[in-house]
Amino acid sequence: MEVLNTAVDVLTAGVLGLAAEPGRIVMMLVGMILMYLGIKKEYEPTLLVPMGLGTILVNIPDSGVLAFGGEPGPFQILFDMGIDTELFPLLLFIGIGAMIDFGPLLASPFLLLFGAAAQFGIFFVIIVAGLLGFNLADSASAGIIAAADGPTSIFVANSLQSKYLGAIMVAAYSYMALVPIIQPIAIKAVTTKKERQIRMVYKPGSVSQTAKIIFPIVICIVAGLIAPASLPLVGFLMFGNLLRECGVLDNLSMSAQNELVNLISILLGLCVSVRMQAGEFLQVDTLIIMGLGLLGFVMDTVGGIMFAKVLNIFRKEKINPMIGASGISAFPMSSRVIQKLATEEDPGNFILMQAAGSNVAGQIASVVAGGLILGIVPGLM
């Protein structure tokens, strides 16, 4: 009889544990929503699907994926090895670097400035979060969501040991997927129809292979000398780009773009769900952090547009201010959104190349922003 009772206790422990903590059920629903968004809506599925299932797995009481028999479980081990050490986001950067063509940007380097301008949201959110009572590390971590760059957000939030890492990652990737919804609203709020109709002449300049090879090396040196804390981010990104451009490592470049990115995405999505446990995630603060991230995306867009408008005061040949909005890191989504908006206002307006250049500039600027924050914030804490 006693054996039977023990067996019943063991078999019902999970259900009773779940009933005792309804927050776990809520998080399982969150996991299902993430999977729904990934599978049905195709919003960043490579990350949201593993993260969604991971969220369900970590919220099952006494989940073996977190700990088993007093030893860390597989998710915890992956988290300790890949996120705590920051290796996963960095390895992902090699693949991203191998995917980027800096050619259009080298042909029109002026667009680099829009990448800088559109990082405004990061710093706006840091100010707002500080005023809302978050400590400096959490404010900066919330701000970096506005870098519109998942790996940078993870790297910075984890380096600053923010307890909102799970929320930051969900926010960063969800908002990136929602760029086609967020940016048009923000753009239309701060531009006139006439401004959106501005046509720009594209003068493509051809770029030599030598310039393309030297470019990532020079960026590493420049960024490293000014913001050494950015070197892990910039260095891995530019290493990936060097694989692409050097012309003798095509196999490695293809592996970085495909196998490496796919493998790391699977592991990253699963293990980041360690931070999606009900006790940690279901707090008002988490929702505020996610709201701040959204605000950051909007303010990035506004910052980029305002910068373009200021430049237009001094320029004879006007810039379509929407080019400023595409200076965020979400590539190529943002440039496509800008082209779509331009076509809506004037079917013959073609500004995709300028928008793409500004978008690539945003990728460089976001990693530099991450490095600068890591260089500045710890000194103020």
Partner 1 sequence: MSTAILSESLLILALGWGGIFVVMIIIYLVSMALMKIFPADK
Nearest approach in angstroms of CB 370 to partner 1 is: 10
Residue ranges in 135-194 that form contacts with partner 1 under rule CB under 8 A: 136, 139-140
Measure the CA–CA gap between 16 and 298, rounded to whole angstroms. 43
- Considering only residues 55, 76, 119, 191, which one is a binding residue for partner 1 as defined by CB under 8 A? 119
Nearest approach in angstroms of CB 249 to partner 1 is: 20
Measure the CA–CA gap between 219 and 154, rounded to whole angstroms. 22
With respect to partner 1, which residue has the nearer C-beta, 77 or 132? 132
Place of tokens 């293990």: 271
CB 96 within 8 A of CB 261: yes
Point out which span in 12-20, 113-121, 248-256, 317-325 binds partner 1 (CB under 8 A).
Answer: 113-121
With respect to partner 1, which residue has the nearer C-beta, 107 or 282? 107
- Considering only residues 18, 207, 249, 266, which one is a binding residue for partner 1 as defined by CB under 8 A? 207
- Considering only residues 35, 83, 113, 261, which one is a binding residue for partner 1 as defined by CB under 8 A? 113
With respect to partner 1, which residue has the nearer C-beta, 19 or 226? 226
With respect to partner 1, which residue has the nearer C-beta, 27 or 106? 106
Rg, C-alpha atoms of the chain: 22
Q: Per rule CB under 8 A, is residue 120 in the interface with partner 1?
A: yes
Closest CA to 190 of 301, 284, 320, 285: 301
Q: Per rule CB under 8 A, is residue 238 in the interface with partner 1?
A: no
**C-beta contacts of 30-33 below 8 A and 24+ residues apart:** 30/55, 30/276, 30/281, 31/55, 31/56, 31/59, 31/273, 31/276, 32/56
The tokens for 240 are 């990936």
Q: Per rule CB under 8 A, is residue 66 in the interface with partner 1?
A: no
Q: How many other C-beta atoms lie within 10 A of the C-beta of residue 218?
A: 11
Q: Please provide the size of the chain in residues.
A: 381
DSSP type of residue 153: H
Q: Is 301 helix (H, G, I), strand (E, B) or coil?
A: helix
Q: Per rule CB under 8 A, is residue 218 in the interface with partner 1?
A: yes
- Angle at which helix 352-380 crosses helix 333-345, to 10 degrees, equals 130
With respect to partner 1, which residue has the nearer C-beta, 52 or 216? 216
| Preceding amide of 151 cis, omega within 30 | no
Task: Give how many residues touch partner 1 by CB under 8 A.
Answer: 46
Residues of this chain that interact with partner 1 (CB under 8 A) are 105-107, 109-110, 112-113, 115-117, 119-120, 122-124, 126-127, 130-131, 136, 139-140, 205-208, 210-211, 214-215, 218-219, 222-223, 226-227, 361, 364-365, 368-369, 372-373, 376-377, 380
